[in-house]
Structure 1
Amino acid sequence: MSTLENEIYAALIEFIEKNQNSIYRLAYSYVKSQDTALDMVQESIYKAIKAYEKIEDQSNVKSWFYKILVNTCLDELRRSNRIVTVPPEDIPDQAVDSLSSKAEHMVLHKALEELDTETKTVIVLRYFEDMKLAEIAGVLEENINSVKSRLYRGLRSLKFQMREGDSGDAE
């Protein structure tokens, strides 16, 4: 193993160790099950370690790993042919984001579930995983303009859906 391969391997392991909560949270956002999310994380780590020599630069570790994780989760959803919505009160503590109340979380959760998978992926990676648009484009293997378009279209849709949720509660 060359020095560069050792450095990349070490960077991959360090990334996984430092970001295990974010990795789990992202997997959970797709599969909506603690056990399945843990399985997806484990499978993604296995795939990443098995193929780490494909990483050309240490700075690409995050987007490379998230690409594996997202694809693993999407494969699982296709394989099981299910998309499950989970009420916020059933989401484990480590998967709950920092929204101020469960009511807001429920509205956001419902609105996110209404989005198509590709749009939801862009929004989750951008705002929950704090990835740059260029990194997201790499993860999804799309050009950056497609990612931007999907992000802005998704945000407009979320804004509209959340407004509807607020007005629907008032009636």
Structure 2
Amino acid sequence: MSTLNNEIYAALIEFIEKNQNSIYRLAYSYVKSQDTALDMVQESIYKAIKAHNKIEDISSVKPWFYKILVNTCMDELRRSRRIIATAPEELPEEMEDCLSDKADYMVLHNALESLDTETKTVIVLRYFEDMKLTEIAKVLEENLNSVKSRLYRGLRSLKVQMKEGELSNVE
């Protein structure tokens, strides 16, 4: 292995170790099952390590890995053809800790689940994984303007749904 190849491999391993919780949460947001999410993470790590020599630049490790993870999860969803609504009590503890009020979480969760997969992916990567729009465009192999458009359209939809959720809780 070349020196650059060794550096990229080390950067990949470091990224995975430092971001294991975020990686798991992203997988879980797609497959809605703890066991399946762990399988998707494991499969994605295997694929990434096996193909690490395809990474051209250390700075692209994060979007490259997330692309593998998202594609692995999407493949699993296509294979299983399932869409599962998750009850809050079934969520991993780390996710519940992020939001103190389950009612707020349910409104947000339901609003996110109502979005199409592509829009949900953009919002999750941007706000839950703190990725830049250019990184998201790389992950999704989309034009940057398409990603921006999806993000803003999705945020508008979430805003409307969140307001509707607040009103229905008051009634």
So what's the TM-score if we normalise by structure 1? 0.98
Distance 2:97 2:68 in 1: 22
Distance 2:97 2:145 in 1: 28
Task: Go from structure 1 to structure 2 and tell me whether the alpha carbon gap of 1:80 and 1:97 turns closer, same or farther (over 3 Å shift).
Answer: farther
Match of 2:155 in 1: 155
Question: Where do residues 121-132 of structure 1 align in structure 2 (5 Å cutoff)?
Answer: 121-132=121-132
Distance 1:2 1:96 in 2: 44
How many positions carry a matched residue from both structures?
171
Match of 2:62 in 1: 62
Distance 1:152 1:136 in 2: 14
Letter aligned with residue 25 of structure 2: R
- 1:58-80 CA-partner distances (Å, limit 9, x unpaired): 00000000000000000000100
Task: Go from structure 1 to structure 2 and tell me whether the alpha carbon gap of 1:90 and 1:158 turns closer, same or farther (over 3 Å shift).
Answer: same
Q: Percent identity over the alignment?
A: 80
> Offset at 1:136?
0.2
Distance 1:106 1:49 in 2: 36
Distance 1:95 1:13 in 2: 24
| Aligned residues of 1:31 and 1:77 also touching (Cα < 8 A) | yes
Distance 2:123 2:20 in 1: 20
Match of 2:87 in 1: 87
> Offset at 1:95?
3.5
Q: Look up the SS of the partner of 1:122 in the other structure.
A: helix
So what's the TM-score if we normalise by structure 2? 0.98
List alignment gaps of at least 5 residues for structure 1: none
Name the Cα RMSD after superposition.
0.9
Letter aligned with residue 145 of structure 1: N
List alignment gaps of at least 5 residues for structure 2: none
> Offset at 1:151?
0.2
Match of 1:27 in 2: 27
Structure 1 stretches of 4+ with a deviation exceeding 2 A read 94-97
- 1:100-151 CA-partner distances (Å, limit 9, x unpaired): 3111000000000000000000000000000000000000000110000000
Match of 1:46 in 2: 46
> Offset at 1:97?
6.0
